[in-house]
Amino acid sequence: MVGSWIFYTTFPKIPLIKPEFKNIAQFAPPLGFFIGTIQSYVFLFLTTNSWSIYASALICLASGYLITGGLHLDGLMDTFDGIFAGKKRRLKAMKDSKVGSFGVQALVFTTLIQIACILKIQNLIIFVLPICLFWGRFSNLFFIEKFQYKSYKKKSISHKKFWNGFKKESLISIIFLVIFIAYQFVSITSHAILIKFLILILIGIFISYSIPNILGNKIGGFNGDACGASVVLVETAMLFMHAILL
């Protein structure tokens, strides 16, 4: 857990505990939920203290970039540059430290869509953003399970090296998800909202599986950049679905 905390965020190190970076992907979905909760409270705090909803949405997203250090956004841009560079130049383009036009477009499009969704969701953000960030990181568990590790880096953290299989690696996230669903069943009193909630859970499973599957087939495997792209794309898609259905 400590390794995941350090690798995926810019939070300070936990004193007296030595981090281990083996199998850290299994802790990422609950960590994403936690990050989404922080971002949601940032948005709600600003809107209740005379900030405009537009400024609050921008600060909300910026707080997420600050917490993650832009880790997943960097992966998104590198991945799109690689995909549109063609099969032969794909990994070389992803390795290039310079951001190409397709990477910039991917960043701009996903950011604008996320802002629009937050403006639509508004005060429901506390119920939406955390689970969207959960699904984004849960998609990487499907990614790692199905595809082989493919990297241009000589030294990198290979999640596949210590992988124990999807059932074991996803257990923590599934338990977390079951608790979340049970809580919603108890707290939601409207049958219409409950049906929408269940539909969104099914959509979350489908999208968190489909997007890494598409990326993996396109790239021919997975690496850190592709995992980052999957996180951002799934988050954005789930935010969009919530904005439509809620």
Q: Which residue has the tokens 């992803």?
A: 94
Q: Which domain holds residue 210?
A: 2-245
pLDDT at 23: 78
Which parts of 51-170 fold into alpha helices (H)?
53-68, 71-83, 90-95, 101-121, 125-146, 166-169
Tell me which of 96 and 67 has the higher pLDDT: 67
Do the beta carbons of residue 79 and residue 228 sit within 8 Å?
Answer: yes
pLDDT at 1: 66
Per-residue pLDDT of 170-196, as tens digits, reads 999 999 999 999 998 888 888 888 899
> Measured between alpha carbons, how far is residue 47 from residues 44, 112, 122 in Å?
5, 19, 9
Lowest mean pLDDT among 18-27, 110-119, 227-236: 18-27
Lowest mean pLDDT among 29-38, 43-52, 157-166: 157-166
pLDDT at 149: 85
Tell me which of 12 and 30 has the higher pLDDT: 30
Task: Summarize the chain as % helix, strand, coil (round to 5).
Answer: 75, 0, 25
Q: What is the spatial distance between Cα 73 and Cα 150, in angstroms, rounded to a whole number?
A: 19
pLDDT at 32: 95
Structural domains of the chain, count: 1
Per-residue pLDDT of 87-130, as tens digits, reads 777 777 787 778 888 999 999 999 999 999 999 999 999 999 99
Per-residue pLDDT of 191-208, as tens digits, reads 888 899 999 999 999 999
Tell me which of 139 and 22 has the higher pLDDT: 139
pLDDT at 227: 92
The model's confidence at residue 8, banded by pLDDT at 50, 70 and 90, is: confident
Tell me which of 49 and 100 has the higher pLDDT: 49
The model's confidence at residue 162, banded by pLDDT at 50, 70 and 90, is: confident
Nearest alpha-carbon partner for 28 in 228, 244, 243, 245: 228
Average of per-residue pLDDT values in the chain: 89
